[in-house]
Structure 1
C-alpha cells in the first residue's frame, strides 16, 4: 500500500521524482544495472562481507572466550576493547589506508572490525552470565576443564553467542558500505557513491534496496542456524 501511494504521489507531482523516484523507476534502474554488471557488484560486496565477518567473528570468539573465562585476561583486554568499540567506522578509514593501501585488505579489515565487537560482547557476556550453580554442580561431578566447557559453559552461553553473531553479521553489512568508500570500483557501496556523485537518487535507492534484501537473507540464514542450534532449549516462543 505504501509503495502504491508513493508511486501515485510521484506521478502526480506531489513528490519531486529527482529526489524520491517512484518504485517503478527504481525497478527499471535495477533492470538497467543488471544489464551493466549488477551481479558483479553484488558478488564483490558479498565476498567482502563473508571474508570480513569470518575473520572478525573467529577472532572475537577466541578473545571473548578468554575474557569470559579469565578475570585476569578481562582486566588486561576488556577496557581497551570497550574504548575501541566507541570509535565510529569512518574514523578507521584514513588509518587503514595508511597502513594497508587501497586494495582489498583495508576493506576486509574494516568489515572485520565492525563484526568483531558484537560477537566479542556476546561471547564474553554469555560465558560470564552462566549460572554459578551449574558450575558448582559440574565440579561436584568432578568434570575436567574441557568437559566443563563443552557440557556446561558452551550450551549455557550459546544463546548469547548466537545473538552476538547475528548482530555482528548485520554490522558487517553496515561497515561494508564504509569499506567500499576506500577506492572501490565494484560493490553496492560503490553504487551508492556513484549515485550520489551523479545525482541519481534512483541508483542510490536501488543500492539501498539491495542492501536491505541481502542483509535480510543473511540474517534469516543466521536465524535458521540459531533455531536449530537451540532446538534443545525449552523457552518461551
Structure 2
C-alpha cells in the first residue's frame, strides 16, 4: 500500500507563471494625404460651379449680374492670351509677398519680445492692441498723405494687415508654454538661448504657423484696399475696373483669381509647417 502522502505530492514541478508583458502601443502613424487626397477638397467647388453653370445657362441667374463660370473662364483665358493677366497677377503677387515678409518679420520681433518679457508686454501690448482695432480702410488716406499713391503705401498697408495675426499668435504661444518645461530647462542649467532654442521654439511653432497663415489670408484681403489707392495694375484694379465699366465677368474673374492665388500660397505655407512640425504626434496628423 503506497504512502498516502504520495497522493498529494505533485508528480511534476509546478509551472512558473509566465510574465506576460503588456503590448507596447505603437504611436499612431502620421496621417499624410494620399496622392489624390486633394480631390476631396475639389469635389464641393466643382459641384457648386456645375450648379452655377446650369442655373446661368437655363436663365435662372441673369447673365448681366451673374454670368456663367464658362464666361468667367473665357475672360481669364482672353486676358492670358493678350498678356494682360500676367501683369496684373505679377504685381499683386509682388505686393502681397513684400507686405507679408515685412509684416511677418516685424510681428515676429514684437511677438517674441512681448511674449518673453513681462515688462515689454506691459509697455507695448496695450498700444499695439489699440492700433489693431483701427479699420484697414482708415489707414488709406493717412498712408496716401505720408507716402503718396506709389508702391510704398500699398506694401505698408498690406504689412499692417499681416502684422497682427502673426503678432498675437506668437505672443500667445510663448506665454502659453508650460511653466514646468521651463523649470526643467533651468534645472538642467540651460542658458537663455538654449531655453529659446530647445523649449520655447518647438512649443510655439504650431501657434506661429497658424499666425502666419492667418496673416497671409489678411494680406490677400488688404491688397484689395491697397490697390484702390491709385493703382493702375493688379487684381484689385481689375475688380474696381469691372465695377466701373459694368463687366461682371471681370469682377468674378478677379475674385476667382484671388481665391486661387490665396489657396496656392496658403497650401505652400501649410506644406512648410507640416515639414517643420513632422515630429508632432497629434490627432490632426
Q: TM-score range by the shorter chain?
A: over 0.9
Confirm whether residue 18 of structure 1 aligns to residue 101 of structure 2. no
Distance 1:169 1:147 in 2: 30
Q: Per-residue deviation at 1:4?
A: 2.5
TM-score (norm 2): 0.82
Cα deviation, 1:13-72, whole Å, max 9, x if unaligned, reads 221101000011101111122133101100000000000000000000001000001111
Q: Per-residue deviation at 1:3?
A: 2.1
Distance 1:97 1:87 in 2: 16
State the partner residue of 1:130: 177
2:92 to 45, 54, 57: 45
Distance 1:208 1:134 in 2: 46
Confirm whether residue 61 of structure 1 aligns to residue 108 of structure 2. yes
Higher relative contact order (CA 8 A, sep 6+): 1
| Farther-moved stretch of structure 1 (144-153 vs 3-12) | 3-12
Q: CA RMSD in A?
A: 0.9
Helix, strand or coil for the counterpart of 1:232? coil
Distance 1:10 1:172 in 2: 32
State the partner residue of 2:128: 81
1:100 to 140, 147, 150: 147
1:199-214 → structure 2 map (5 Å cutoff): 199-214=246-261
Helix, strand or coil for the counterpart of 2:62? coil
Q: Per-residue deviation at 1:109?
A: 0.2
Structure 1: gaps of 5 or more residues: none
1:187 to 234, 246, 256: 234
Distance 1:98 1:226 in 2: 39
Confirm whether residue 109 of structure 1 aligns to residue 156 of structure 2. yes
TM-score (norm 1): 0.98
Distance 2:195 2:176 in 1: 15
Structure 2: gaps of 5 or more residues: 1-46
State the partner residue of 2:40: none
Distance 2:51 2:202 in 1: 48
State the partner residue of 2:200: 153
Aligned length: 237
Distance 2:273 2:150 in 1: 34
Distance 1:12 1:50 in 2: 41
